[in-house]
Amino acid sequence: MRVYTEDDASPELVQSGPVAVIGYGSQGRAHALNLKNSGCDVVVGVREGGPGAKRAAEDGLEVASVAKATEGAKLIAMLTPDMTHEKIFNEEVLPNLKDGDALLFAHGFTVLYGRVNPPKNVDVIMVAPKGPGGLVRSEYERGRGVPCLFAVHQDASGKAKEKALAYTSLIGGATAGAIETTFREETETDLFGEQAVLCGGASELVIAGFETLVEAGYQPEIAYYECLHELKLIVDLFYEGGISRMHDFISETAKYGDFVSGPRVINAETKERMREVLTDIQNGKFARNWILENQAGKPHYQQMLQADLDHPIEKTGAELRERMSWLKPGANTK
């Protein structure tokens, strides 16, 4: 594996022409501000009169409609949610693409699954920071960066990879190291991680643990602390130094319980279910279902979301967190 750094980047490839950042959410804001601070001519393409337009203007950025922003841009970064790409691209971006332009995504979903079909005369690249937009911005401001993945889907100019590395460098990602991937690998592994481990897996594990304790007669508040609240402590150790760091900081009793009981909960059957999740991602079933769900107005999505919000763990947690002063806005800034 090669890790690319600042020494591998040629920032002038992106600095030489206007950059249009489409969308001003978490990633859009971070990318736009970092690019501007790195010497790029940035224009933010957003819905006129929307909250993104207002915030971008307050941040001192040039703001325009998506169509206007893309007219003169040499690189266009599509940083709106995946399910908005098709309409925005077809109606406001595609008519303004010119030979040698670069179209950039932070996730490969819409290109991999054919929701966006760029013409053959433009570069199609991806730069995916491995962290939320707030962290991408704050690390850049500290002179550091968040690691990035980058990929080339289409190289019309002969310089697509170099443009992706330049963009990575300009938002701070090359400082922390960049790894080359493909649109397929990034998309499939990202979806799998979200579904099987980070979001779906973790939340279901927490809820199942909470329910097991409460159904056995234990107080929901105690169950909350043991199955959700303390999870952050373990995840922080994972994040800082992997499984070995966790072992360094937990008790001998906790370690023994880890060894003998972890495989009873997460076992061969669990891994087989994970393989099924991955298969649905690889063969496009998940993408098709998600696209159809959006086209139908997301009725099942809303039902499932509401079920999560109505779970007793949410009421218990909200009441307990009210007493956690360190979670209040501004509590850690004094």
Active site residue 107: yes
Contact between residue 30 and residue 11 where contact means Cβ atoms under 8 Å apart: no
What percent of the chain is helix, strand and coil (3-state, nearest 5)? 60, 10, 30
Write down the pLDDT at residue 332. 56
| Alpha-carbon span 33 to 140, nearest angstrom | 10
β-partners of residue 75 are 19, 102
Residue 333 pLDDT greater than 80, yes or no: no
Smallest Cα–Cα separation from 136: which of 126, 146, 128? Answer: 146
> Mind listing the pLDDT tens digit for each residue in 138-154?
999 999 999 999 999 99
Provide the pLDDT confidence category of residue 334 given band limits of 50, 70 and 90. very low
Smallest Cα–Cα separation from 102: which of 152, 170, 37, 43? Answer: 152
Residue 109 pLDDT greater than 80, yes or no: yes
Smallest Cα–Cα separation from 102: which of 80, 71, 77? Answer: 77
| Alpha-carbon span 259 to 236, nearest angstrom | 20
Write down the pLDDT at residue 168. 98
| Alpha-carbon span 305 to 71, nearest angstrom | 39
Q: Which residues are annotated as a binding site?
A: 24-27, 47, 133, 190, 194, 226, 230, 251
298: left (phi over 0), alpha (psi -120 to 50) or beta: left
Buried b (16+ CB within 10 A) or exposed e, 271-284: eeebeebbebbeee
Q: What is the mean pLDDT of residues 285-311?
A: 97
> What is the average pLDDT value for the chain, to the nearest integer?
96
| Alpha-carbon span 292 to 301, nearest angstrom | 11
Contact between residue 61 and residue 42 where contact means Cβ atoms under 8 Å apart: yes
131 exposed, middle or buried (CB, 10 Å; 0-12, 13-18, 19+)?
middle
Query: Of 31, 107, 229, 311, which one is the catalytic site residue?
Result: 107
> Mind listing the pLDDT tens digit for each residue in 179-231?
999 999 999 999 999 999 999 999 999 999 999 999 999 999 999 999 999 99
Task: Find tokens 């970092």 and name the residue.
Answer: 34
Write down the pLDDT at residue 328. 84
Residue 164 pLDDT greater than 90, yes or no: yes
Write down the pLDDT at residue 330. 72
Contact between residue 224 and residue 210 where contact means Cβ atoms under 8 Å apart: yes
Q: Which residues are annotated as a binding site for NADP(+)?
A: 24-27, 47, 133
